Amino acid sequence: MRILVCGGAGYIGSHMVGYLTALEHEVVVYDNLSTGHRAAVGMVPMVVGDLLDPASLAALFMAHRFDAVMHFCARSLVGESVDDPYTYYQNNVVGTLNLLRAMHTAGIDKLVFSSTAAVYGAPQTGVIDETCPVEPINPYGASKLMVERMLADAAKAYGLRSVTLRYFNAAGADPSGEIGESHEPETHLIPNVLRAALCSDSVLKVFGGDYATRDGTCVRDYVHVSDLASAHMKAIEFMAGHDGAHLFNLGNGKGFTVLEVIGAARRVTGVNIAFELAPRRMGDPPVLVASSAKAHDLLCWTPAFTEVDAIIESAWRWHKQMRY
């Protein structure tokens, strides 16, 4: 297949590109390199452009024919979205609208869209399935939910086929150690824990120790980035037989507290990683754990990485010798 990967130079997108090229699909990456890395794409053709530039998108679709689009371009930091919501709505909502219009003009009717557990807000239930209410508590989650609504409307109006994948906490790195997670500044837990393991000057902060959880720190469901990639391929296969807009959670179904993640990283690295307790971070829900039963049943997706130690082990291999 010929697949356009928007945001293919980013963390999850670059793993997707590696997955697709290993299966010998034809891939073109479209990325503005605002947070992504050219080196993460290797030899795969890349057009440097922005979703906020409709002329650049039109030129892209004039130059190439695609069977489907995967859309990973987004601003994705909860705290930043609270401080600067306009940027989040501009990038994530307006940018996606531009992409959808360009796809419509070009006659491309299949999209896999990266959404997030943040659409659920601060759920009261233990394990979240797709029937849980969507009540985002930060602009990042709200921006993704707006796109989900656009996709439902586009299915009815234009016949756009789409699969929305609500990721829980993407983590880990390709087992080759060639690509991995590299953000500047880094805000995510596992990379920050591993940075603290590598450099004792880098002080790890644990945001909030007074949540109503088993040890007072937030619980998250960590899902390996290669498992996210395999789900996208299954989503493309699913759209061949299903029209309309569909959505699925992607997680492991197991939650780990921040302190449990630090404990696992200590086991994997052999370093007694130090941390200090800090105030809660704005916009953080206490617990987010997925039921992925729907993805399992309808996409036939089962994550290969189920243990947090194995996920951290793959991330550690990357962090020890980060290439970009």
Q: Which residues are catalytic?
A: 140
Closer Cβ to ligand UDP, 78 or 290, answer by number? 78
Tell me how far, at minimum, the Cβ of 158 lies from ligand UDP, in Å: 32
Query: Which residue is at the shortest CB distance from ligand UDP?
Result: 218
Piece of 24-32, 42-50, 182-190, 234-242 that binds ligand UDP (CB under 6 A): 182-190
Q: For residue 277, give both structure tokens.
A: 């307790």
Residue 188, Cα to own-chain centre: how many angstroms? 12
The yes or no reply on residue 252 touching ligand UDP (CB under 6 A) is: no
Quick one: 78 or 239, whose CB is closer to ligand UDP? 78
Helix (H, G, I), strand (E, B) or coil at 124: coil
Should residue 229 be labelled a site residue for ligand UDP when binding is judged by CB under 6 A?
no
Distance CA(98)–CA(30), nearest Å, equals 13
253: left (phi over 0), alpha (psi -120 to 50) or beta: left
Angle at 114 between CA 50 and CA 284, to 5 degrees: 105
Among 101, 188, 254, 266, binds ligand UDP (CB under 6 A): 188
Return the residues of window 194-223 that contact ligand UDP according to CB under 6 A: 205-207, 218, 220
Query: In the 3-class helix/strand/coil scheme, how is 258-280 assigned residue by residue?
Result: HHHHHHHHHHHHCCCCCEEEECC
Q: Which is nearer to ligand UDP, 13 or 100 (CB)?
A: 13
- Please count the residues of the chain: 324
Distance CA 24, CA 176 (A): 18
Residue given tokens 């980035």 in the structure block: 225
Return the number of the residue (156 or 214) whose C-beta is nearest ligand UDP.
Answer: 214
Query: Is residue 258 involved in binding ligand UDP (CB under 6 A)?
Result: yes
Rounded Cα–Cα distance for residues 295 and 170 (Å): 16
Q: Any contact of residue 183 with ligand UDP (CB under 6 A)?
A: no
Judged on CB neighbours under 10 Å (0-12, 13-18, 19+), 300 is exposed
Separate counts of helices (H) and strands (E) for the chain: 11, 14
End-to-end CA distance of the chain: 29
CB of 179 to ligand UDP, least distance (A): 19
CB of 256 to ligand UDP, least distance (A): 10
Using CB under 6 A as the binding rule, whether residue 189 contacts ligand UDP is answered as: yes
User: Distance between CA atoms of 196 and 125, rounded to whole angstroms?
Assistant: 33
Residue window 53-82: x/- pattern of binding to ligand UDP, with contact defined by CB under 6 A: -------------------------x----
192 binds ligand UDP (CB under 6 A): yes
The window from 65-73, 119-127, 184-192, 232-240 that contacts ligand UDP (CB under 6 A) reads 184-192
In whole angstroms, how close is the CB of 218 to ligand UDP at the nearest point? 3
Cβ of residue 169: shortest distance to ligand UDP, in angstroms?
5
Q: Which residues bind ligand UDP (CB under 6 A)?
A: 78, 169, 187-189, 192, 205-207, 218, 220, 258, 281, 284
